[in-house]
Amino acid sequence: MSQTHHHGPGPDLERAARDKLESAGEQWTEMRAQIYAAIAEQERPASAYDIADLVSQRRGKRVAPNSVYRILDLFVANDLVRRVESANAFVANSHPGCVHDCIFLICDQCGQTTHIDNDRIANDVRDAASASGFAPQRPVIEVRGTCADCA
């Protein structure tokens, strides 16, 4: 089991994201790069509207949230970004291309979101769903509580 905090952009992370997207046959456009950089620098999960506002300010012209959503959907599909379902927000995947089902730990006090990879738990959830006759696609596991900094 590993634990990863999502904060702070970096050239290595952006290069890994670009390489992963291009290896999937997609282009790393200027807009995609700007949206990825904006989300990668967030210390907490950010909504598409937050990202659209930030990129709009930097570009000096409005970027529509629906355009951001389309790019975020592409990023999620290629494991560059993770969606925090309960917050309808997104965080950069600190290891692009990771195929683990993330377990998010979300602090109700400060909003810090940490993810842990635990394949045993994710597989147990898949197995329980299958045993009930359900065909699981992707488990979504989010634990709300208080982080160590706020405790």
What number is the average pLDDT over the span 128-142? 91
The b/e string for 9-37 (b: 16+ C-beta within 10 A; e otherwise) is eeeebbebbbebbeeeebebeeebebbbb
Structural domains in the chain plus CATH codes? 7-92 (1.10.10.10), 102-145 (3.30.1490.190)
Token pair in block for residue 54: 């930030």
Average pLDDT in the 92-102 region? 78
pLDDT value, residue 99: 67
* Residue 1 pLDDT: 47
73, 87, 72, 104: which is closest to 6 by C-alpha?
104
What local confidence, expressed as pLDDT, does residue 2 receive? 45
The pLDDT of 34-52, averaged and rounded, is 94
N-to-C CA span, the chain:
23
> Can you give the pTM of this predicted structure?
0.81
Tell whether the model's pLDDT for residue 6 goes beyond 60: no
**pLDDT of 72 above 70:** yes
How far apart, in whole angstroms, are the C-alpha atoms of residue 128 and residue 130?
A: 5
**Positive/negative CA dihedral, 144, 124, 118, 26:** negative
Lowest mean pLDDT, pick from 40-49, 50-59, 94-103, 116-125? 94-103
Q: With cut-offs at 50, 70 and 90, classify the pLDDT of residue 111.
A: confident
Q: For 117-138, what is the mean pLDDT?
A: 91
Average pLDDT in the chain: 88
- Written in H, E and C, the secondary structure of the chain is CEEEECCCCCHHHHHHHHHHHHHCCCCCCHHHHHHHHHHHCCCCCECHHHHHHHHHHHHCCCCCHHHHHHHHHHHHHCCCEEEEHHHCEEEECCCCCCCCCEEEEEECCCCCEEEEECHHHHHHHHHHHHHCCCCCCCCCEEEEECCCCCC
